[in-house]
Amino acid sequence: MADDFRDARLTERRNPRTQSIDTASSLEIVDLVNAEDATVPAAVARAREAIATTIDLVEHAFRSGGRLIYVGAGTSGRLGVLDATECPPTYGSPPELVVGVIAGGPPALVRSVEGAEDDEAAGGAAMDELGISERDVVVGIAASGTTPYVGAALRRSRERGARTVFLSCTEPPKGIAADVCITVLVGPEVVTGSTRMKAGTATKLVLNTITTGAMIRLGKIYGNLMVDLRAWNEKLVDRSRRIVMETTGLSRDAAGEVITAAGGRVKTAIVMARRGITREEAERLLAEQDGRLRAIVGDPPPMPAA
């Protein structure tokens, strides 16, 4: 029997556990999908060392005035843009610190742009347009490992001196222009080749860990509280007040007042309240301590009993 239809990429193989899923009931489909999804965290854990190395690279880039750039196509590109977009409200980071690039540009976020992922010239050009330099880290995301746009972007980034990382859910191709390869082998998908499923979930977990880890290393977390958040909506305004209340013992109204006096910056407000100093003095201390609250006000209070 001819086997030319077989693909070497793990993400393109058929999953024997779901080969009869088209005959399954709705509940059986849920169980099958859930069982496959349950294998993803372990696959991510097996890539822990490469993920940790990437966090170190990104932290160094941020401290050197560089950026984290995600590059992908389709689902991979959308997940990169999503992670980049969520950093400013969560960590108070400038929008240009973490940037998501998707093949086909913004229109590809909401609909497929035919042929965009195959455009190698566009991948290299996108890196030129961003002015990639030796201070940056570029993470290419390609679940199936072979997206031409991503490969070209990594090659051009390396030429421009950037550190490069390749995230895939199959073995990376030989010669990929990456200093670090994060390979998360989640296995064949429930629906063959549908990498928005397990591969997409794995990608989201990895990207979450990279940016969360780098931001923690930068001192943007106190204990496990997001003290550098920007209160851009009512939910975040409420969270800001609760964080200041918990870390200083202030009432809700007093917490709101000190946050206002701190220009809306939670971390500054905590230092002002705990040290009894002005905004200017608090900002000076934070600058001296590289933004790390523990060095200024000590350990956070213990968590209240559940």
| Rounded-to-integer distance, Cα 51 and Cα 207, Å | 9
Locate tokens 């984290």: which residue? 68
Catalytic, 117? Answer yes
Catalytic, 281? Answer no
* CB distance 185 to 39 below 8 Å: no
| Rounded-to-integer distance, Cα 125 and Cα 181, Å | 23
Residues 6+ apart with CB under 8 A from 124: 152, 153, 155, 156
Of 36, 117, 189, 283, the active-site residue reads 117
Locate tokens 């002005």: which residue? 278
Q: Phi, psi (5° rounding) for residue 139? A: -105, 110
Of 86, 246, 257, 281, the active-site residue reads 86
Q: What is the β-pairing status of strands 163-168 and 98-102?
A: unpaired
Q: Show which residues are catalytic.
A: 86, 117
